[in-house]
Amino acid sequence: MAAVAPARRRKRRSLPIGRILLLGFFLVFVLWPLYWMFNTSIKPSDDYLTVPPVWFPAAPTLVHYKAALFAYRGLDGLINSLIISLSATVLSALLGTLMAYSLARYDTGGKHLSFWVLSQRFLPPIGIVLPVFLIYRQVGLYDTHVGLIIAYTVFTLPVSVWMMFAYFRGMPKSMEEAALVDGCTRWEAFWRVAVPLAAPGIVAAAVFAFIACWTEFFFALILTSRTAFTLPTVFRAFIGFQGAQYGEAAALAIVSLVPSIALGVLAQRHLVRGLTLGAVRG
């Protein structure tokens, strides 16, 4: 027994060390590409392919950021992406919450409708983009913010509905019934009771919808031209017959990370809680 106790203590001491090493490995694995991308964005062009590599430039420069944002219209793409992504996220979260609550509480459309809604996400974008393109050209939605907002809302709505459906289905009805007994209408019970309780799930669905819209490339490539183009489509301009503009591409990539990281940090508490409870309840 005396020999077993020290062995157990050594095992307990070794576990944190192993976890720290594993965490350090994954941290380096994740942060190294970000560091190299940032390093490339502030390097002079002559230092891209030098051997040995320049780990940090002696004379950092912001010329690549200036070129990416202004010469290549990256700033216009950034503004368009913010407008379109935020609008589509709000619509997706709002409509998804209403649809999910209806499916979970009133069994709208039968028990299989929720699966049918999710199945719409299985359609490959390339299979529907041509008819959408032709319709947009006819009705004047081609190369407009509204057209891309509609497309992104439809694109993200099934996942938002499914996430919120699992969340609402796991919520007890007793609190809403108590609100009805106290004199609230159905709408008031939904807005004052169900929505605050489901706030973590709504935030989680909204974050996923925003990231999907922010990084989407295919619809933006086909449905926009020179007015409503988004940030991902700007990266096409960095590759041409004369070579690739590595510095400008890295600079714009760094800029494109800022909104997603900021949103993740701000919504971290609700996001973790929403995903955890939604997964358990689903």
Nearest to 71 by CA among 245, 227, 258: 245
Residue 201 belongs to what domain range?
Answer: 66-281
20 and 75 in a single domain? The answer is no
210 and 238 in a single domain? The answer is yes
In a domain, 213, yes or no: yes
In a domain, 58, yes or no: no
Question: Where is average pLDDT lowest: 23-32, 48-57, 230-239?
Answer: 48-57
- DSSP letters, 85-131, are HHHHHHHHHHHHHHHHHHHHHH-TT-TTHHHHHHHGGGS-HHHHHHH
The answer to whether 176 and 214 have CB atoms below 8 angstroms apart is no
Nearest to 95 by CA among 171, 173, 154, 167: 154
Give the C-alpha separation, 227 to 52, whole Å: 43
In a domain, 275, yes or no: yes
120 and 232 in a single domain? The answer is yes
- Count of domains for the chain: 2
> pLDDT by residue (tens digit) across 30-67?
899 999 999 999 998 888 777 788 888 888 999 999 99
User: Running DSSP on this structure, what letter comes out for residue 143?
Assistant: T
178 and 276 in a single domain? The answer is yes
> pLDDT by residue (tens digit) across 111-144?
667 677 777 777 888 889 999 999 999 999 999 9
User: Residue 227's pLDDT band (boundaries 50, 70, 90)?
Assistant: very high
The phi and psi torsions of 240 (rounded to 5 degrees) equal -140, -175
In a domain, 27, yes or no: yes
Share of the chain above pLDDT 70, in %: 87
137 and 25 in a single domain? The answer is no
In a domain, 89, yes or no: yes
The phi and psi torsions of 164 (rounded to 5 degrees) equal -75, -30
Q: Chain-wide mean pLDDT for the chain? A: 86
| Strand-pair partners of 244 | 239
Q: Does the pLDDT at position 176 exceed 90?
A: no
Nearest to 85 by CA among 222, 263, 273, 251: 263
Amino acid identity for residue 135 in this structure: I
42 and 79 in a single domain? The answer is no
The answer to whether 224 and 233 have CB atoms below 8 angstroms apart is yes
Give the C-alpha separation, 86 to 206, whole Å: 9
10 and 76 in a single domain? The answer is no
Residue 7: how many CA atoms within 13 Å on its side-chain side?
A: 4
| Strand-pair partners of 239 | 244
Q: Nearest 5 degrees, angle CA 5-CA 11-CA 15? A: 150
- DSSP letters, 226-274, are SSS--HHHHGGGGEETTEE-HHHHHHHHHHHHHHHHHHHHHTHHHHHHH
In a domain, 61, yes or no: no
Nearest to 87 by CA among 145, 27, 136: 145
37 and 145 in a single domain? The answer is no
Q: Does the pLDDT at position 274 exceed 90?
A: no
Query: What's 87's domain CATH number?
Result: 1.10.3720.10
In a domain, 264, yes or no: yes
Handedness of CA 222, 226, 227, 229 (dihedral sign): positive
In a domain, 60, yes or no: no
